[in-house]
Structure 1
Amino acid sequence: MRTYFPKKGDIEPRWFVIDAEGQVLGRLSTTIANIISGKAKPTYTPFLDTGDHVIVINAEKIRLTGRKETDKIYRRHTLYPGGLKERAARFVRAEKPEAMIEEAVWGMLPKNKIGRKMLKKLKVYRGSDHPHQAQQPEALTLGE
């Protein structure tokens, strides 16, 4: 018996909307990474993008456990000498809370072409409004 591999035309991505209010960042990111990578599907294939689209709303209301609000440091480098930039999580939350979720999910995806394609399926927004009503996303509630 031959192993079934889905073709590009066989994959029909679905859209999900997740409310991040009160959700722990790492647990939410793990769920999102599994959905957009397609690992939750029986047709998962490592070399194909079989994942679904995820819309995250209320990104500013994400929860960090312990003392991560002040102790967690987000780092980036400008590629110039001495160009290391560091910001605490509370400042990142105030300026761009979407970046917290996107960076956490990116850390859980493969670092290659497929991983970059998967990350494009993640849409993160402040507040409860999003411009993807035409896709008719299904509400996804995460277990407490």
Structure 2
Amino acid sequence: MIPSIKPTDITRRWYIVDASQHVLGRMCTEIAMVLQGKNHSYYSPQWDMGDHVIVINAKKAVVTGTKEENKLYRTYSGFPGGLKTQNLAEVREKNPKRIIEHAVKGMLPGSNLAGNMLKKLHVYEGAEHNHEAQNPQQLITT
């Protein structure tokens, strides 16, 4: 029997991504893969083996086509008439972090591990972040 690696046996790396230089969907797929730990040889779907990801410039995230006006974000309060709809431009103005968090959350597995994976996603509106001590590496080089 081959011994498996536990999450306590690994050291988690830190990565940084500039959202102003990458298209939203393609960037979020890379982020989701790293949060799940699929970029490691010791990946195991039943363990949370992922690394931390810092996303800066969330307010300047790049979208293509007419998504700025046509992509809708819906929230429902649970009461009759409680469905609120906003397009991407309105969400970007009020809470730009939600754009990236919503996209990445949809790409993670639907299990209990998704919450733990999302805790390792750190999204910032501007270029400043408070994780310099972790020495983050560039995630997407293109």
Shared fold per TM-score greater than 0.5: yes
Under TM normalisation by the shorter chain, which class is it? Answer: over 0.9
CA deviation string 1:5-45 (max 9, x = no partner): 11232121100111111311100000000001001111000
Instruction: Name the CA distance, whole Å, in 1 between partners of 2:61 and 2:7.
Output: 35
SS at match of 2:84: strand
CA deviation string 1:90-141 (max 9, x = no partner): 0101111110000000000012221110011000001110011121211233
Following superposition of structure 1 onto structure 2, how do residues 1-144 of structure 1 map, counting pairs within 5 Å? 2-143=1-142
Residue 76 of structure 1 deviates from its aligned partner by: 1.0
Aligned residue type for 2:137: E
Residue 4 of structure 1 deviates from its aligned partner by: 3.7
Aligned residue type for 2:15: F
Aligned residue type for 1:68: K
Structure 1 unmatched ranges of 5 or more: none
Provide the TM-score with structure 2 as the length reference. 0.95
CA deviation string 1:56-113 (max 9, x = no partner): 0011111111100000000111111121110000010111111000000000001222
Aligned residues: 142
Structure 2 unmatched ranges of 5 or more: none
SS at match of 1:76: strand
Q: Which stretches of structure 1, 4 residues or more, deviate above 6 A after TM superposition?
A: none
Instruction: Name the CA distance, whole Å, in 2 between partners of 1:4 and 1:65.
Output: 45
Percent of aligned pairs sharing the same letter: 46
Provide the TM-score with structure 1 as the length reference. 0.94
Instruction: Name the CA distance, whole Å, in 1 between partners of 2:3 and 2:70.
Output: 47
CA RMSD of aligned residues (A): 1.1
